[in-house]
Amino acid sequence: MRQLKLIVLFVIFCNQSIVFAQQPADFVNPFIGTSNYGATFPGPIAPRGMASISPFNVAGAPNKLEKDSQWLSNPYVHENTFLTGFSQVNLSGVGCPELGVILLMPTTGNLETNHLRYGSTYTNEVAKAGYYSTQIDKYNVKGEFTASKRVGVSKFTFPKGQANVLLNLGLGLTNEQGAMVQVVSSTEIQGMRSVGTFCYNSPEAAYPVYFVAKFSKPADRFGVWKKPDTYKGVEAQWMPYNGKNRMMEQSTKMVVGDSIGSYFSYNFEKTETVEVKIGVSYVSIENARENLEKETGNKSFDAVYKETYNEWNELLSKIKVEGGTRDDKTVFYTALYHTLIHPNTLNDFNGEYPEIKTGKIAKTDGTRYTVFSLWDTYRNVHQLMSLAYPKQQSDMVKSMLDMYDENGWLPKWELNSTETFTMVGDPASIVIADTYLKGIRDFDVQKAYQAMLKSADQIENNPLRPGLKDYIEKGFVTTENGGSVSTTQEYNAADNAIALLANELGKKDDFKRFKNRSLSYRKLFDKNYKLLRPRVKDGSLYEPFDPNAGANFTENVGFIEGNAWQYAFMIPHDIIGLKKLMGGDKGFTNQLQNIFDTNQFDMANEPDIAYPYLFNYVKGEEWRSQKLVEELVRKHFKNTPAGIPGNDDTGTMSAWVVYSMMGFYPIAPGEPKYTITKPLFDKITIQLDSKYYKKSELVIEKETNSNGKIKQIEVDGKTHKEYFIDHSDLVNAKTLKISLE
């Protein structure tokens, strides 16, 4: 009987394990996107966390992709092998090298501070939501990592003997140099690292990230190293230390320099663990310390991990998917996870944050968000937030409006309170209009509207809309400005959003004016090519014109990050008009299909990512969208490190697959509507926030015996004849039922 009881208990235990394993957070695989230039990182981060930890394996010749020998925008590459530390602030899915600094590295034996010499291979990587661990081969040290919102927590298990924890402030992914460090005591280090110059732009906007590192065990020895310039000439003769690392043992002095670091050393008589908590702040060392203490205080590694895991699980559980394979769920929840990293928290625990541009310290009662890669995210990320996390989306809009207050302008590509001016267009208007029109209205819409008008109408000294004078006068940006066609299309989209908001706010004149402006892309339409073409200053067509030029990010007159094919259909607000230009349904369909047939479609970049859905605009051709979307999901999104088609673009690729797997997509950014395709799960339940929505949840059901095309769409049991649905209809529905043939 006794044995039977044990068996019963074992069965119960196994069942419970399985129950745990089925939580949404358990389907997160942070390795997805760490290859194929996905630019995600596998280390831990809390939802929208300021701090994060990434294994850093992009420095040093043993690595296949090395940060200094090519353009590399991520601290970790899955196929690399040479680890030189664990960076404490990181960006996920961006296109330029930035952050990836404050590198913690455990070593053993004699102290070595040159990363090319102390670097190591590693094995047994484990990555989960809020957790990463690996074995560092050279030192036989296990590293485990978790993070709260503003604190990274590292736990190193050292073998007997001399153990060292290095804090390297020289090495980093950023192009910016310079750091300050000071050992406060045998358990604490404080300092700052300069970062900035994102995309090699605006080096003058470099800014500090401050940190405080607390160690669970007092160091037996500590110190600072500094590697100054190598002197030449007569001085070199007098310097026995010329070009060498200077070791400042037991120093508690403030040290600054481009290549500096600090170390703690231990003499362990048996296997021992050291936990290192690193609080960060963009305001001050004091705030970094407060962040650390208030968030993690005396909490154990496991306690911090559990809290962060629970936070992830709660957020990811807002969307429950049923059916599908384990890999489907992993792709889905990892993508959703990737949409919940950026925009991230900028403010400290006490609410302080640096204002945009000036860096003046301000304070918020809520959350100040940062990392707005709006050229990417205006297309689908914010739409996903508005649906499933409307409070977050509302706070993001408020942060954007605060930037306008601080800076006089809405953000374009904002990064830690610097405006990087990366990419083109004026996407903030689209995001804000989209949010408002979806009924998320707890922000100052009048201010938002004024801000939009300013960037849309101010011709002189307008940092957001270069080429605006031509655009207003001629209807298009001319080739005097880079990416003139792309930019015209972006301005059209923004103007359409302004028009829609004007309409909602009862500003009829503005509505007409901006609606009119939003259609000016038509002046670039070339009937022969059925493509948009750049025009020069005098209005004539730019010659020569090669529609295929500009693929794969090569430079191309008229287009940014794409060619004429990849931009031809990027008129989300006027597909009806575009159809006419292209010769009606047939011409439109042929031209669109041609792009896919000739491999001009690029899944990995934003301009054409809505293309697969555009067949929905042609009655009877919707099956093409259903087929294409499913094929693209299956082809490009996988439960592997290369499982994102390219750069995740702060969650934009991920939001695409989240929507696509749910069976609908925000086809026209700024307009509160979706287009419908085939869900890839049997059932999707989206919890709705009662503060913004009447219904508590939305259920999407797929009814199917085969995997054919859509036979019928029903909303709360009533047949829905279109492949489009308004946002309000969707969120007020109980069930969206999609039946397949």
Select the span of 24-32, 86-94, 196-204, 342-350 touching a copy of itself (CB under 8 A).
Answer: 196-204
Distance CA 266, CA 292 (A): 23
The CB-of-206 to a copy of itself minimum distance in angstroms stands at 7
Q: What is the dihedral of CA 282, 283, 285, 288, to 10 degrees?
A: -60
Binder among 62, 161, 178, 577 for a copy of itself (CB under 8 A): 178
Q: Which helix or strand (DSSP H or E) is residue 576 part of?
A: helix 575-581
- d(Cα 219, Cα 421) in Å, to the nearest integer? 44
Nearer to a copy of itself, 96 or 147 (CB): 96
Of 240 and 620, the one with the shorter C-beta distance to a copy of itself is: 240
Task: Pick between residue 172 and residue 427 the one whose CB is nearest to a copy of itself.
Answer: 172
Identify the residue among 258, 272, 444, 457 touching a copy of itself (CB under 8 A): 258
Which of residues 205 and 415 has its CB atom nearest to a copy of itself in the complex?
Answer: 205
Closest separation in Å from C-beta 414 to a copy of itself? 16
Q: Where are the alpha helices (DSSP H) in 348-389?
A: 374-377, 381-388
Residue from 249, 597, 703, 741 in contact with a copy of itself (CB under 8 A): 249
Dihedral, 372, 376, 381, 383 alpha carbons, nearest 10: 100
Tokens of 244: 């060498």
C-beta of residue 715 within 8 angstroms of C-beta of residue 700: no
Query: Of 284, 276, 273, 283, which Cα lies nearest the Cα of 304?
Result: 276
To a copy of itself, the closest distance from the beta carbon of 456 in angstroms equals 26
Q: Quote the radius of gyration of the chain (alpha carbons, Å).
A: 27
Q: Is 115 in the site for a copy of itself (CB under 8 A)?
A: no
Closest separation in Å from C-beta 360 to a copy of itself = 6
Separation between Cα atoms, residue 561 and residue 375, nearest integer Å: 12
Binding of a copy of itself by 252 (CB under 8 A): yes
Q: Which residues inside 347-386 make contact with a copy of itself, applying CB under 8 A?
A: 354, 358-360
Considering beta carbons, is residue 27 or 353 the nearer one to a copy of itself? Answer: 353
Nearer to a copy of itself, 68 or 322 (CB): 68
Pick from 70, 540, 599, 705 the residue near a copy of itself by CB under 8 A. Answer: 70
Report the length, in residues, of the chain: 741
Using CB under 8 A, which of 179, 432, 456, 661 touches a copy of itself? Answer: 179
Runs of H (alpha helix) within 259-348? 285-296, 301-316, 326-339
**Could you say which of 15, 16, 250, 598 contacts a copy of itself (CB under 8 A)?**
250
110 binds a copy of itself (CB under 8 A): no
Minimum distance from residue 178 beta carbon to a copy of itself (Å): 4
Could you tell me the end-to-end alpha-carbon distance of the chain, in angstroms, rounded to an integer?
54
SS3 195: strand
Sign of the four-CA dihedral 328, 331, 332, 333: positive
Report the candidate in 484, 489, 356 with the shortest Cα–Cα distance to residue 420: 356
- Rule CB under 8 A: say whether 247 interacts with a copy of itself: yes
Task: Decide: is 705 part of the binding site for a copy of itself (CB under 8 A).
Answer: no
Nearer to a copy of itself, 235 or 365 (CB): 235
Q: How far is the CB of 177 from a copy of itself (least distance, A)?
A: 5
Compare residues 218 and 584 and give the one whose CB is closer to a copy of itself: 218
Q: Vertex 403, ends 401 and 408: CA angle to 5°?
A: 95
C-beta of 248 vs 715, nearer to a copy of itself: 248
Question: Would you count residue 670 as binding a copy of itself (CB under 8 A)?
Answer: no
The least distance separating a copy of itself from the CB of residue 217, rounded to whole angstroms, comes to: 21
Number of residues that bind a copy of itself (CB under 8 A): 48
Query: In angstroms, rounded to a whole number, what is the distance separating the alpha carbons of residues 511 and 526?
Result: 27
Which of 138, 217, 221, 246 is in the footprint of a copy of itself by CB under 8 A?
Answer: 246
Is residue 24 a contact residue for a copy of itself (CB under 8 A)? no
Nearest CB to a copy of itself, comparing residues 21 and 239: 239
- What is residue 6's three-state secondary structure? helix
Cβ of residue 116: shortest distance to a copy of itself, in angstroms?
Answer: 16
CB atoms within 10 A of CB 541: 13
* Whether the bond into 544 is cis, omega within 30 of 0: yes
H/E stretch holding 214 reads strand 207-215
Residue number, 59 or 582, with CB nearest to a copy of itself? 59
The nearer residue to a copy of itself, 209 or 731, going by C-beta atoms, is 209
Count Cα neighbours of 481 within 13 Å in the Cβ-side half-sphere. 21
- Out of 68, 631, 703, 741, the only residue in the binding site for a copy of itself (CB under 8 A) is 68
Map residues 198-217 to x or -, x wherever contact with a copy of itself holds by CB under 8 A.
--x--xxxxxx---------
Helix, coil or strand: residue 16: helix
| Contact between 218 and a copy of itself per CB under 8 A | no
Distance of alpha carbon 263 from alpha carbon 255, whole angstroms: 13
Alpha carbon of residue 652 to chain centroid: 7
Q: Which residues contact 439 (CB under 8 A, 6 or more apart)?
A: 692, 693, 727, 728, 731
Amino acid at site 508:
K
Part in contact with a copy of itself (CB under 8 A); list of ranges 65-73, 123-131, 397-405, 617-625: 65-73
CB of 218 to a copy of itself, least distance (A): 16
Residue numbers at the binding site for a copy of itself (CB under 8 A)? 68-71, 175-180, 192, 194, 197, 200, 203-208, 226, 228-229, 231, 233-235, 238-241, 246-258, 354, 358-360
